[in-house]
Amino acid sequence: MSNLTDNLPAFLAFRLPRPLRFWYFLVANIASLTCTLFILYFLLFDVTLRRALNNHIIIVLLVLGFLYESFNVSWHIRSARFDQPYVYSIQISLFAWASIERHILIFHDRWMSTRIKRLLIHYAPIVVIIVYYFVFYSIIYFGTPCDRSFDGFLSGGVYAPCAFYLQTVGTWDLIVHEMIPTLIISFFSIALLLRVMLQKARMRQSLQWRKHRKMTVQLLSISVIYMLFNIPWVIFILGLTYGAPLEIVWPALICSKFILHNIVFLFPFVCCLSLPELRKRAKQMLLFRGRQHRVGLISMSKTRLRAQGATM
């Protein structure tokens, strides 16, 4: 493998230092997993939070992120040769749908008024997206008769399944799985902000505005990390596909692939900050445990004083 790397042009042999990758992924992964478990605990065991429709897609994304960090990132820390794109693709497409659904939840909530409507509009798209990607990547990885080369790893760790070298498959993946979800997130997030601001000025209903503001802030906060870290990756992939100078695009592609993982790492922290109910319940839990601890200390001190008085 080292001989193959030595024969590559200098720009194709570019790769980020292994210690940087190792420690960055290790620290970020541990912190993100801890935060993910914390949020899932509250979202799954608090009835009010669990029943809120706007939290369902967040729960699914957190579970997918947990699986990605537990297996994919853990293997990636050990060896840069293990980096599968399917979980990331599912996540970005699910959040693209979430950016559309948020308009429905805020402005067309009657569409969710019955169980059948919720099944068709709320739950079905999530299931369809997950099943589609499962079938697509099963065909890509197990149903494509081509050699699974690891040469991509030698030049910085950007791995593409061999089926993506077919023009039709590669173009489909680029447009449908990369460009369209990114454009949907960008467009519908900005549109949501504008619609909510216009509605606030028109209706002047503070209670309704607070409810809409929470859902809007949650979506926009998460949209920022998706756009911030995904857009550079999409731009450099486009450049690589359509003939930009390889000596410029390739190192940038390696770096953008590296920071792309920040979407998964930062997602739980952004969710935590954008959910005021979560912060409130966490604070209540900490205060409750603090009171229990103080009561326990007072009880112990009283017991000791009684024991001392009895001995005297």
In the chain, the domains with their CATH numbers are 13-301 (1.20.1070.10)
Are 107 and 195 spatial neighbours (Cβ–Cβ below 8 Å)?
yes
Q: How far apart are the first and last CA of the chain?
A: 81
Convert the pLDDT of each residue in 202-226 to its tens digit: 766 555 667 778 888 889 999 999 9
Q: Is the pTM of this model over 0.75?
A: yes
Convert the pLDDT of each residue in 21-51 to its tens digit: 888 888 999 999 999 999 999 899 888 888 9
Residue 134 pLDDT > 80, yes or no?
Answer: yes
216 Cβ contact partners less than 8 Å away, ≥ 6 residues apart: 102, 106, 192, 193, 196
Q: What is the pLDDT of residue 150?
A: 42
Query: What is the number of alpha carbons within 13 Å of residue 237 lying toward its C-beta?
Result: 21
Joined together, the tokens standing for residue 124 give 């079905």
What mean pLDDT value characterizes the chain?
Answer: 80
Residue 82 pLDDT > 70, yes or no?
Answer: no
Are 77 and 25 spatial neighbours (Cβ–Cβ below 8 Å)?
yes
Are 72 and 87 spatial neighbours (Cβ–Cβ below 8 Å)?
yes
Residue 153 pLDDT > 50, yes or no?
Answer: no
> Which residue, among 62, 84, 76, has the nearest Cα to 263 in the 3D structure?
62
> Which residue, among 158, 159, 156, has the nearest Cα to 15 in the 3D structure?
156
Type of residue numbered 12: L
Q: How confident is the model at residue 305 (pLDDT cuts 50, 70, 90)?
A: low
> Which residue, among 28, 9, 79, 20, has the nearest Cα to 251 in the 3D structure?
9
- Helix, strand, coil fractions of the chain, as percent rounded to 5: 85, 0, 15
